[in-house]
Amino acid sequence: MFHTPNEPSRSSEPPAFNEIKGNIYNHVSFDPGLKRRATFKPPFKDIVLKEEPVEVLNRSAFIAETLGDLADPSAKAAFLMLDLSDMHFADKAGAGDFILNKFARALKETVRHFRLDKDVALDKAEVRLCRYGGDEFCVSVVGQYHEELIEELRKKIEEKYKQNNLTGYFKKGLRDDDPIVSAPIRLKEKEGGKIIDVIQRPNDSEEKTFFDQFLKKGHILTPLQIRSAKKMPQLLEFITKPVELIYPETAATVKGKLAHLSKRFPDLSGEITALLKSEFNDNQREEVLKFIENRLFDKLFANIVYSPPEFFERLENYKDIYCLDLKFIREMNDIISYPEADMAIVSLYQLITNRLGPDLMQYVDIGRRGGTFFIGVKRGALKTIAARDKIDSALNEINSLSLTLREQPVIFELGIESSYTDSVFTAKKFSAIIEGAETNFYKKIANYLIERKPDGRTNLEFIFSNRDFSKEKGEINIIDSLIQEFFISKRSLIRANKTLKEIMSGEQFKDKAFNQLRKVMTRIFEYGFRMKEQGRSINQEELLGEIEDTLQ
């Protein structure tokens, strides 16, 4: 059994083996982005603010440990989900990492104090904190506990952040010359004015089985999402399909797999090298291997896919970098379902790996942030120019993703960008690749919006004159409903601004056919900016009304 470094081991294993396991736990269990020191220099000040690394479980470790606790048939589980607000404006100010570390440290302290205060009541339960993804965090309570403790924990966290005693730095607007201001770090407001969602593991046997199946893939589903999933055979087949982890053919044994992981993750090489010595047996090696696999292999792809911080740390290893940007993941999460969004992400990953094939996959690393994939061509692995050209040709064939959702064929246009270097990729160059893919996507969506439907209306008119797509006669293109959500949801200000930036500057967008699109995006931007200045949330019905006025 593995334990946190501060938790005494109940194992009778020899000290050397426990030391190896403890070191490996430290390497693979904590979020890599939060394990780095974050700094920020406020404008017009001669000081540099620092936030030291903070150990918060990564999503894979969190899921693995939670599933381990749920092996007890009597265990209950509650998950408190919370998101940071305005992180785009924090990133624009260069303070995103600083704020994440600061928030994570404060949240960890709040959870720790609650655990200490309720030591007796939580004697048979585990309380954990993880970075669930991006700006989203999750606190879980698993085991035996009284239900009122969950409400107490929720209130404790809410009280902490309603006091506004945590401050960060944010861009006042979206222009480069907009000022950077100090403001409270806030949590996103959810439906009904809540800032924390509480999701309970179901009591019903059938629904509990569904919940646990999705949890194994890294998803914490609400009761509504469970009921919806039960009606979709394609989704259930996807989520219950057995997963066989992908290793190269040369790594067929336990020792071979450990040796392969040692090369992929140099931080583990010392412990793995020691583990391969004769003083340890195969059972011990297999125990460690399973532990590592549960944390390093992506639950969706059965393979190693790096997080953005992990990919960023490897930039110097790459000769070429490609970025494929699949948008609408947030929108699919909101108006379709998390698992179906995952199906789209997996489909893009499979498209990438199938195009490359086993022969070329050995030359690349893959990273992911949401629906955005980064493919790094390893500098030292390429032996011939021909192999590099084959990789370039294979990836340049990918411009869109076709799949079936809700029994409808759907085509997602992708944002595409790539770059190569004869020196070393810098953070600035890497950011430019991501921005280039995003620019490519916004150009595609602008062209789509001025195309006409069979009835003569532009896609723009059709999409934004519909308050409820379910009432439209005939088959509704899922992409149209996603585009509407894309431009009227919480990030409408940012999306409209990026679209305007492209259609105001690009030579190909000067045609009068884009005039109506310019007016609509300007209206969306002005509405979003007004709401931000007033401290109000986007009202989708209100915004659609303003867009309709513009279209008339």
User: What ranges do the domains of the chain cover?
Assistant: 31-201, 305-443, 451-551
Q: Which of 1-5, 183-187, 393-397 has the lowest mean pLDDT?
A: 1-5
- Model confidence at 6, pLDDT cuts 50, 70, 90, reads very low
pLDDT given for residue 7 in this prediction? 43
Residue-level pLDDT at 467: 67
The separation between CA 144 and the C-alpha centre of its own chain, rounded to angstroms, equals 30
DSSP code of residue 192: G
**Residue 471: pLDDT band by 50, 70, 90 thresholds?**
very low
Q: Which of 217, 222, 220, 218 is nearest to 238 (CA)?
A: 217
Residue 442 has pLDDT above 90, yes or no: yes
**Mean pLDDT for all residues in the chain:** 89
pLDDT at 13: 63
Q: Under 8 Å CB-to-CB from 140, ≥6 apart: which residues?
A: 62, 66, 77, 78, 79, 80, 126, 127, 128, 130
Question: For residue 450, what pLDDT is reported?
Answer: 95
Q: Where are the beta strands (DSSP E) in 26-135?
A: 38-40, 49-51, 76-83, 125-133
Mean pLDDT along residues 278-289: 93
Residue 468 scores a pLDDT above 70: no
In whole angstroms, give the CA distance from residue 175 to residue 378.
36
pLDDT score of 102: 96
The pLDDT value recorded for residue 157 is 93
pTM score over 0.85? yes
| pLDDT tens for each residue of 220-235 | 999 988 888 888 777 7
What pLDDT score was predicted for residue 518?
Answer: 95
pLDDT of residue 14: 65
**Architecture field, domain 305-443:** 2-Layer Sandwich (3.30)
Q: How many Cβ atoms from other residues are within 10 Å of residue 109's Cβ?
A: 12
Q: Mean pLDDT across the stretch 135-142? A: 96
Average of per-residue pLDDT across 72-85? 94
Query: Is residue 3's pLDDT more than 60?
Result: no
The class level of CATH for 31-201 reads alpha beta
What does the pLDDT read at residue 249?
87
Using alpha carbons, select from 285, 297, 309 the residue that is nearest to residue 216: 297
